[in-house]
Structures are given as structure tokens and as C-alpha cells.
Amino acid sequence: MKQLLSTHIFSCVELERLALDNCCLRSPPTFCGLPNLLRLELYRVVYENISLGEIITRSPSLEILKFRQGEITLVDIAKLKNLKELVMPLYLLDHSAITSSLIVDLGTCLPNLQMLSLDFLDYQFLGDLVGTERVPASFPCLESLALYQIDFSCKTKLMFAFEFIRYSPKLQTLRISAKYNDAVPHSANFLSELNSIQLGLPQLRIVMLLNFRGSEEEILPIKKLLAGSPSLKKINIYPLSSKVFGSDNGKLMVATKLLKFHRASPSAEVEINWF
């Protein structure tokens, strides 16, 4: 059973940092906000008479927001003009109103955002795929991007990930966690569409790819990142399992293919961490 926190916590108007886990929140009728709150982390929290959206919109100074539960909309998040770090699962957003284009447009409302982590688990995009002609350079200050549970068998999500990376010109670190739905067949021009997207990231230094299994959908972005990142230092690859390559010969074939790719950075390394 989760512990019910005292409502007095909402009276601490000088509070600058708040991290809560495995508890229940109830606000007093007089709650007007936490004007000095800079950092908010909420995990396994139940909200009784107040929503997560109400808490953050009444905390206008927030610079760091991390949460795993709670009702919230992109409109709520867009009000946090000082936000520098955001960690959230996409499935908590209002599905009826969210498209990939709208998520990218969020960057124009958060001009100071430097670190972003999105979890795509159990999330389904609605609306059209992001089009290259419609996407602005939305995240001008973003330095660190983590995209978890990206479905590499889903054209919409994978294309969105490409566009997200492409329009983050100051990106320095990139982390992608892959998953697959083998029951979904790819269209004949799937890889051709991916190949049409150019990735030029002058400041990118570190890339980490998790759950790698050597598919063409994974190898293609590695090729593009190597060719378009003159400051790149290392791409760390963590296979889903050594078994996905079949044998030592399979491992060698994947490694050989990666070694042949052109590199804009002469010091760039590709390291495959075999199990």
C-alpha cells in the first residue's frame, strides 16, 4: 500500500527539489503552486485530488522534470519555458490528440531543452508520419537524446526517430533502444525511404544502440551517423543476444560491414559488445 503524504508538502513554497517514489499525493484546496521548484521527479505515484499536469503547470520555474506515472498533456509540458531536462513515457500523453508532428513541434515551446528521454513502450502514433518538408529545426539546444523501445519494424516510429535526430543540430550524445514486431511486414520501399533522410550532426560524439540484432534498419542509421558526424568518437553497440547472428561467422559479417562504412571523423570507433 502506498503511503499518503501530508498535504503540508504543498505548502513548502521555497522548495527547489522534490523526488517522490511509491506514494500517494493529495493536495489541499488552497494549493496555488510551487513557484521555486526547479527539479521534480515522480515515480510510482498515485494522484488523489490533483493531476500531474496541475502540479507542473503551477511550478513555472521547473528546469528538470522526470516522471513515470500521471495524467499530462503536451500543452501542460509546453508551458514550462525554463525546462532543460525531460524524461517521460509517451503512453501517458493524451493519445487522441498526439501525432508525431505535434511532438516535434514541442521543441519550439521548449527553447532551452538540453536533455530529452522518451520511452515509446506501448505507445501508438496517431495521424500522419512526420514529413521532411513540414518539420522545423525544433530542438536547437538539445545535447542529449534517448529514445527507448523504438519499434524498428514500424515505419512510422522509425522515420520519426530519424527526423528527431536530424533536427537536433547540437546533439552530442544519442541513445537508442530497439525492439521488433516480426509479425509486421515491411513495405518494399521502406529502406529506400529511410535512406533518403540525411543525418548531418556536427557535434555528435557518442552513440549507444541497445538490443541490436544486425538488421538493415539498424545498420543504415549507423552508416549515416558515421558519414555525417565529423566529431564522432564512438558508437557502442549492444546486441540483443549473440545468438541473433547465428554463429561467429555471422558476427564477422556484421563487423566487416560496419568497418567498410565511410567515416567523417577519422577517430570514430565502432565497438560491438558481444555477449
pLDDT (tens digit per residue) in 2-23: 777 788 888 888 999 999 999 8
CA dihedral (62, 146, 41, 48) in degrees, to 10, reads: 100
Contacts 24+ apart (CB under 8 A), 7-15: 7/31, 10/34
Give me the pLDDT at residue 240, please: 79
**CATH annotation of 73-272:** 3.80.10
50 SS3 class: coil
73-91 confidence digits (pLDDT tens): 888 888 899 999 999 888 7
CA atoms of 6 and 8, how far apart (whole Å): 5
Give me the pLDDT at residue 131, please: 46
Average pLDDT, the chain: 83
CA atoms of 85 and 39, how far apart (whole Å): 9
CA atoms of 184 and 225, how far apart (whole Å): 26
Which residues, in sequence order, are bridge partners of residue 207?
A: 174, 235
The pTM of the full predicted model, rounded to 2 decimals, is 0.87
Is the separation of the CB atoms in 263 and 226 below 8 Å?
A: yes
Domain ranges of the chain: 1-66, 73-272
CA atoms of 16 and 148, how far apart (whole Å): 29
91-142 confidence digits (pLDDT tens): 777 655 556 666 666 777 888 999 999 888 877 665 454 444 444 557 889 9
Give me the pLDDT at residue 111, please: 85
Query: What letter would DSSP give residue 92?
Result: G
Closest by Cα among 58, 49, 40 to 5: 49
Spell out the residues 6+ positions from residue 227 whose beta carbon is closer than 8 angstroms to its own.
199, 261, 262, 263, 264
Report phi then psi at 24, rounded to 5. Answer: -120, 135
Report phi then psi at 254, rounded to 5. Answer: -65, -45
Residue with cell 568518437: 233
- Type of residue found at 64: I
Is the separation of the CB atoms in 157 and 125 below 8 Å?
A: yes
